[in-house]
Amino acid sequence: MAWLSIALELDPAQAEALSEALLEAGAESVSLESTSDDPATLEPGDRMRVIALAPAAADPAALVAAAAAIASIAPPGFIVTPVEEQDWVRRSQSQFGPVCVSDRLWIVPSWHTPPDRAAIVVRLDPGLAFGTGSHVSTRLVLRFLEENVRRGDRVLDYGCGSGILAIAAAKLGAGEISAVDIDPQALETTAANANGNGVALQLAAPESLLPGTYDLVAANILAGPLIALEPLLAARTRRNGRIALSGILESQAAEVAAAYARDFDAAVSTTEEGWALVEGTRR
């Protein structure tokens, strides 16, 4: 199957809004990356690159226009590049190498040999789902999990993408783990990756998640959806349970922390390359 890569450059706030809107409008996957020479700090005037993947039969102009309408911005300019299925797989395999999260935790694509066989290794094929460990927002949550998962914890990965956070939690000793995503293809990718790592996950669409609360909730999405999800994620976090929120630009972190302050002792805990992690403890 052939695909189209649709690339756009916008200011950070518009890029975040359009990323969410592109998925809603029908893009198969969307990624964000900084165009700055120094991605550790976003300065006024800096731009973010949005790259969306769509089927070859899609109308890029219509897709971008629909997403812009959803995001309430003027339709931006874009560049379209055809990507053949074979080229997409090869590009993915060349782009995603082993990622060292810490001395004891590695994320390793299935086509690579683990660099450290003594470490905890998550084997991963991203497919079309977000989450390879290479993006700083994912690494921020992985480090949080490494430091905070306790043996037997109930963990919820909300917006699981490739399943990387849920699988890492299992490898770190968590007990019952639920992985949720609105995208059926993400759930398929998560199921395949969980099977490849020999871990058991409970997979569900958001509306099908069984009742209950969790010791730890992780969500690596985008700032806008995270703010809207606060009541739901608060209801899923037990008293004194922990939450980790990522996919947040540093400039948006205070707003996300303020939204979660209704139910959590929440604060921006870490920033890296213009991205932030918001942590909280449920009151």
| DSSP assignment of 161-188 | TTSHHHHHHHHTT-SSEEEE-S-HHHHH
- Predicted pLDDT of residue 229: 96
Neighbours of 126 (CB within 10 A): 21
Distance CA 63, CA 267 (A): 36
- Topology of the domain covering 96-282: Rossmann fold (3.40.50)
- Topology of the domain covering 3-88: Alpha-Beta Plaits (3.30.70)
Size (the chain), residues: 283
Neighbours of 154 (CB within 10 A): 19
Q: Which two tokens stand for residue 192?
A: 């395949």
Contact 96, 157 (CB under 8 A): no
In 3D space, the residue among 276, 282, 31, 238 whose CA is nearest the CA of residue 144 turns out to be: 276
Domain ranges of the chain: 3-88, 96-282
Distance CA 277, CA 249 (A): 9
User: Which residues of the chain, if any, have pLDDT below 70?
Assistant: 1, 36-45, 84-97, 112, 125-134
- Predicted pLDDT of residue 40: 46
Helix spans in the chain (H): 12-25, 60-71, 85-95, 136-148, 164-171, 184-197, 223-228, 230-236, 253-260
b (16+ CB within 10 A) / e for 67-101: bbebbebeebebeeeebeeeebeeebeeebebbeb
Contact 57, 107 (CB under 8 A): no
- Predicted pLDDT of residue 86: 52
Q: Which two tokens stand for residue 105?
A: 């935790």
